[in-house]
Amino acid sequence: MSKIHDRLDIKLPIWNAGMGMGMAGAELCSAVSNARGMGVLGLGGMPPSAMRTVIAQTRKLRSRAFGVNIIMPMMVEGQIECCFDEDVPLMILFWGDPTPYINDAHRRGIIVVSQCGDVEEAVRAADAGVDGVIVQGTEAGGHVKATRPLADVLKETVRELGSLPVIAAGGIATGEDVIRALKAGASAVSMGTRFVATNE
């Protein structure tokens, strides 16, 4: 298990992707967290007032740590500050440079993970001080930044980042897929489409 999982007392190497439009809302996030995986809220371009409502709903339903996913090109004013004020345990930043937010998050004890589309971006995020990366393959659904298959980019990212946790994303739908990613060096997997087809 990874350093992130140890800090958050996560026992299963499965994260739900932070899908927006209510797909990864309080119910899905809390169900994954309560099953000892890493539940992630997809808050997209949601205004801070709405974010607070969803975070509060999640806290009522779950007994364990959870994360918030923010797609940086869709960010609206106050989203990062909302995560800080609400003391979310983990913040995932996608499609942008996480550097401006890392130190402030760490001062508050918040774990920062950067979702990346290639090895080079993952290395830059690691150098900036993130606590882990989600590396995406072209098999991914939703917002796809990847340009190569997951197996290729995962292997290279794990090699480049050493002990930094790497979470694999893209086309993972079965137990065999999970095992394959873990054997390739991933600390966990992030699954989106599979959870869309799953009753919370």
Rounded distance between C-alpha atoms, residue 148 and residue 95, angstroms: 16
Given the structure tokens 């190569």, which residue do they identify?
148
Residue type, 199: N
pLDDT value, residue 62? 84
Note the pLDDT of residue 1. Answer: 60
Predicted local distance difference test score (pLDDT) of residue 141: 75
Q: Which pLDDT score, from 0 to 100, does residue 42 have?
A: 96
Q: Which residues of 87-103 are buried (b: 16+ CB within 10 A; e: fewer)?
A: ebbbbbbbbbebbebbe
Which pLDDT does position 123 carry in this prediction? 98
C-alpha span between 94 and 72 (Å, rounded): 6
pLDDT at 48: 97
Quick one: DSSP state of residue 38? B
Q: pLDDT of the chain along its 200 residues, tens only?
A: 689 999 999 999 999 999 988 899 999 999 999 999 999 999 988 999 999 999 999 999 988 899 999 999 999 999 999 999 999 999 999 989 999 999 999 999 999 999 999 999 999 999 999 999 999 998 787 777 778 999 999 999 999 999 999 999 999 999 999 999 999 999 999 999 899 888 87
Q: In terms of C-beta density within 10 A (0-12 exposed, 13-18 middle, 19 or more buried), how is residue 66 classed?
A: buried
Kindly state the DSSP code that residue 14 receives in the 8-state scheme: E
Q: Judge whether 156 and 174 are in contact, CB under 8 Å.
A: no
Bridge partners (DSSP) listed for residue 67: 40, 90
In the chain, the largest separation of any two C-alpha atoms, in whole Å, equals 41
